[in-house]
Structure 1
């Protein structure tokens, strides 16, 4: 017993110096550290209950006791305020909800993005962002959506798993419908819905034909390199596109949106998804091999912070079905997908499966 109390004294000493937190449970000293949890007792060490990213190792869809009290009595189908963040915190205690969806004129006070270059932050781009934000003037979804006490959001991916599922009306029922890049809606409404609240994209992913844009949706810009902000400035001010060297494919020359219908996605979501949630290499905070999350996962990360309930549809690549369609809107097969230089699809899928298994998000197409 002397050994145990001696260990406990050492642990408590380290706590007083701010190194960790301790709780005593049934005669054991439990040390909580950022990356692991170790239980010390006489001659016994028990492994962590969290994985190396900080997620619970044992995940299920059951509500923790404190959430049963909060959400258990709500009528079926009722929107559950704060549900996604509460469930996320239950499986990932490091989760902190406040993180604005879009940049506003106070973006320089957001410490976590000011130390990184794009795509993980805004360093070196502060001046051009100031100019853009002064012109767009609006920094929320809409007065109506921003006033809702409970928002249900769905992120619509581009996967072939969406085809022939007839989920269109169900997708339209969500308060916020998020679409990605140039995935079309017209002609596919039965499966993907007709409603678009916002479309997140970057220069190379943006719709190139103005007539293919929805009539009323927000154009949400996500930057992956400093050059992208120069492109956005030209789109906002309706300038003739120039300086296209540095893009890896052709980009849109015109975006049929008024400045007040344009937003800049908070790059913190790229940073958090990459380094905290998925565990991609930091690479000194620079874009490099295998350390960029897909835009779909970035959108889900955004929704966890800003929506009360989060669903996804059209996510998941099944490499065991090479002849299945890669996207819902074209005939390209799954076998066409190549190993990505920028993404780590397997690690990303591992993260998304955690969210689905714990029912933090709802997967409407069961592709994850």
Structure 2
């Protein structure tokens, strides 16, 4: 079914993105020798919940999963309680909670045998060792919803939690998610006697790829990750043609299809090997996912119906829902806290900030693969190139307020310097 090419009416999202947010991120102090961002938080007039209000530390939960913080393990017997549901309207900057770094860990038995795996490098890196959690839960399934988790994750806005979302809609979607038997998807697919390293190419859409001739190199990896407006037709020589994983939010996918329809992006990747990774940044992602699960039309109130009335149409007829993975908010919050914490969070625009979809996808690959090569991501000389590799005329990269591309650029450069990833750069 072709994408709706009629121009949709302006929405709050588009106004925020195109007008209010069309400003560069605030100036930021550089990385120190230890790789930590220098970031002194100003005092605010709000009061976080105390430990007594947040947690009941008694017997551990009777489950193989563990709530993890790098300071202590917190087990709860009763749900967390607050007098009123938390809402982002109460805060002028990002609130900091005592359960900020409480994450759900997995007990995956799949272990890498690759001697140069990122997981091994992380443990031997003075910079990455204190940041990296190899057992972090990456994807959600139907076991991850209950009233206790609803209240815990209600302390954080999406995509880092469930604050301001609708309990009934989130619960309905969550309980319909298929089981994820092993969080380490790629390791679980390997034969026990296979000692090879899992190599992954993560392909961004940066203009640096135009004329690069890297298509064969990209496709030679075991897995290829792509994001948003991943136009392939006509650019195979530069970006390859395989897609193992396609990362998106409901909004970025549908707007990419709309804005790039005439450029050749008329459907999302649908190769036999393709799986999908959804990042839930808003209630509309759950509403979109519900429509996909039930094969129903989107409500006009959501706003996404201006782009696609029936979301299932973007997938093959007999779509296997085990191929669609939904990222856990703990994983997104962990990435924000430890790798991609922008100073935007300290000001009035805190509630619109999130790492870019490309950044989230690259970090997801970092936790699934042994070896990661990043293509089409921002480098120090980004101003030399157009915003996208498929731009017919050169377009400058716009630094929107809801992302911090300059911070991401610094992180990719540091990871390349530490030999954690291989970042494609032009000489």
TM-score in terms of structure 2 length? 0.59
Structure 1 distance, partners of 2:117, 2:184, is 21
Q: Give how far 1:314 is off.
A: 0.8
Q: Does 1:330 align with 2:330?
A: no
Number of residue-to-residue matches in the alignment: 295
Contact 1:53 1:278 in 2 (8 A): no
Contact 1:221 1:262 in 2 (8 A): yes
Structure 1 distance, partners of 2:408, 2:419, is 17
Structure 1 distance, partners of 2:368, 2:330, is 13
Identify if the C-alpha distance between structure 1 residues 287 and 107 changes in structure 2 by more than 3 Å, giving closer, same or farther: farther
Any stretches of 5+ residues in structure 2 without a counterpart? Answer: 1-31, 39-113, 258-264
| 3-state DSSP of counterpart to 1:342 | coil
Q: Give how far 1:265 is off.
A: 1.7
Deviation string 1:113-137 (CA, Å, 9 cap, x unpaired) is 5642311123546654553354442
Q: Does 1:237 align with 2:294?
A: yes
Which of 271, 275, 280 is the matching residue for 1:215?
271
Which of 173, 178, 182 is the matching residue for 1:137?
178
Structure 1 distance, partners of 2:161, 2:231, is 29
Structure 2 distance, partners of 1:84, 1:286, is 37
| 3-state DSSP of counterpart to 1:320 | helix
Structure 2 distance, partners of 1:248, 1:51, is 43
Question: What is aligned with 2:161?
Answer: 121
Q: Does 1:366 align with 2:366?
A: no
Q: Give how far 1:338 is off.
A: 2.6
Q: Give how far 1:201 is off.
A: 0.5
Deviation string 1:33-60 (CA, Å, 9 cap, x unpaired) is xxxxxxxxxxxxxxx8524439xxxxxx
Between stretches 104-113 and 161-170, larger displacement belongs to: 104-113
Identify if the C-alpha distance between structure 1 residues 240 and 289 changes in structure 2 by more than 3 Å, giving closer, same or farther: closer
| 3-state DSSP of counterpart to 1:214 | coil
Structure 1 distance, partners of 2:154, 2:295, is 28
Identify if the C-alpha distance between structure 1 residues 246 and 281 changes in structure 2 by more than 3 Å, giving closer, same or farther: farther
Q: Give how far 1:274 is off.
A: 2.5
Q: Does 1:350 align with 2:413?
A: no
Deviation string 1:214-259 (CA, Å, 9 cap, x unpaired) is 2331122111112221112112221112134456984574221423
Identify if the C-alpha distance between structure 1 residues 357 and 202 changes in structure 2 by more than 3 Å, giving closer, same or farther: same
Deviation string 1:94-148 (CA, Å, 9 cap, x unpaired) is 3221123321233348898564231112354665455335444253689776232
Structure 2 distance, partners of 1:126, 1:152, is 39
Identify if the C-alpha distance between structure 1 residues 49 and 141 changes in structure 2 by more than 3 Å, giving closer, same or farther: closer
Q: Does 1:339 align with 2:395?
A: no
Q: Does 1:227 align with 2:227?
A: no
Identify if the C-alpha distance between structure 1 residues 301 and 215 changes in structure 2 by more than 3 Å, giving closer, same or farther: closer
Q: Give how far 1:353 is off.
A: 1.2
Question: What is aligned with 1:275?
Answer: 337
Structure 2 distance, partners of 1:147, 1:343, is 34
Alignment of 1:1-368 (within 5 A): 50-53=34-37, 80=117, 82-86=119-123, 90-108=127-145, 113=153, 115-123=155-163, 124=165, 128-139=169-180, 146-148=188-190, 150-206=197-253, 208=257, 211-216=267-272, 217-245=274-302, 250=307, 253-254=310-311, 255-257=314-316, 258=319, 259-281=321-343, 283=345, 288=350, 291-316=353-378, 318-321=381-384, 324-335=385-396, 337-363=397-423, 365-366=424-425
Identify if the C-alpha distance between structure 1 residues 320 and 220 changes in structure 2 by more than 3 Å, giving closer, same or farther: closer
Structure 1 distance, partners of 2:162, 2:347, is 12
Larger Rg belongs to: 1
Structure 2 distance, partners of 1:320, 1:81, is 30
Q: Give how far 1:340 is off.
A: 0.4
Structure 1 distance, partners of 2:158, 2:347, is 9
Structure 2 distance, partners of 1:51, 1:145, is 29
Identify if the C-alpha distance between structure 1 residues 282 and 252 changes in structure 2 by more than 3 Å, giving closer, same or farther: farther
Contact 1:84 1:307 in 2 (8 A): no
Structure 2 distance, partners of 1:171, 1:278, is 26
Identify if the C-alpha distance between structure 1 residues 172 and 243 changes in structure 2 by more than 3 Å, giving closer, same or farther: same
Bigger share in strand = 1
| 3-state DSSP of counterpart to 1:158 | coil
Query: What root-mean-square deviation, in Å, do the aligned CA atoms of Structure 1 and Structure 2 show?
Result: 3.6
